[in-house]
Amino acid sequence: DTAVSQTPKYLVTQMGNDKSIKCEQNLGHDTMYWYKQDSKKFLKIMFSYNNKELIINETVPNRFSPKSPDKAHLNLHINSLELGDSAVYFCASSQVGEGKWAPLHFGNGTRLTVT
Amino acid sequence: GNSVTQMEGPVTLSEEAFLTINCTYTATGYPSLFWYVQYPGEGLQLLLKATKADDKGSNKGFEATYRKETTSFHLEKGSVQVSDSAVYFCALKVGTGANNLFFGTGTRLTVIP
């Protein structure tokens, strides 16, 4: 009964390729996120999506594009992969309506390695 | 602006030692404060939270007190165990918007037997 599941767990690919990471949550949350965790463990938000609104972090290259077919899914598509994209990507969800203390629920991460 | 600063790691302690991981913040408005923990190979999990000044969050023997006067939310545990080895993230959230959760850089804790 995994609450937030993302696939694949590991992804190894070559520079220039296009890849996708999928995320699904079964918590009924209204908001989903993608975070990038770099080699120094620094966690940065990339996107958040709340039903009607996609909020994009302007520092994220436009090679990254989130796609949300419904509120339970938020997939991350990456075009023309670069070496610097190697990181662990975390999907998360929350119910924003629960108030400002509503916790995020994270998936287990996808380790992307670009060679 | 909003930001979180937490102590650099890594931190290595012997089992049963006392743990403190410092966290200070700057925020516009009145933030809620959180500690998240990331065990090896897993995603982050909420460890504890405090929603207003002087609140104390606690869970699994960990505690943190929301200190508005010092803008701090230090994480403490009286006696750490090997199973506490993980990366700990301090975070703040302002308001109810979807994109206003700010994380610190994380502190890796290793507890040795």
pLDDT tens per residue across span A33-51: 999 987 766 778 888 888 7
CB distance B108 to B11 below 8 Å:
yes
Give the distance from residue A48's alpha carbon to the nearest chain B alpha carbon, in angstroms.
Answer: 6
To test the contact with chain B by mutation, choose from A38, A46, A104 the residue with the greatest count of B C-beta atoms within 10 A, namely A104
Beta pairing class for B44-50 and B56-59: unpaired
Question: B6 CB near a chain A CB, below 8 Å?
Answer: no
Contacts of B105 in chain A (CB under 8 A): 40-43
Beta pairing class for B19-21 and B56-59: unpaired
Q: How many CB atoms lie within 10 A of CB B3?
A: 12
Question: A99 CB near a chain B CB, below 8 Å?
Answer: yes
CB distance B33 to B25 below 8 Å:
yes
Residue A105 pLDDT level (bands cut at 50, 70, 90): confident
Q: Residue A58: its pLDDT value, please?
A: 65
The residue with tokens 């933030």 is B31
- State whether the Cα torsion B100-A96-B75-A87 is positive or negative: negative
Mean pLDDT value across residues B22-39: 90
Highest mean pLDDT among A59-68, B42-51, B76-85, B90-99: B76-85
Mean pLDDT value across residues B8-32: 92
Across the interface, do A41 and B108 touch by the CB < 8 Å criterion? yes
The residue with tokens 């545990």 is B77
Contacts of A49 in chain B (CB under 8 A): 98
Residue A6 pLDDT level (bands cut at 50, 70, 90): very high
Structure tokens, A30: 């209204």
Q: How many CB atoms lie within 10 A of CB B97?
A: 15
Mean pLDDT value across residues B81-109: 84
* Per-residue pLDDT tens over the stretch A66-103: 998 888 999 999 999 999 999 999 999 988 655 555 67
Q: Residue A115: its pLDDT value, please?
A: 96
Apex CA A16: angle with CA A11 and CA A19, to 5°? 40
Structure tokens, B84: 């506490």
d(CA A34, CA B31) in angstroms, rounded, equals: 22
Q: Residue A100: its pLDDT value, please?
A: 52
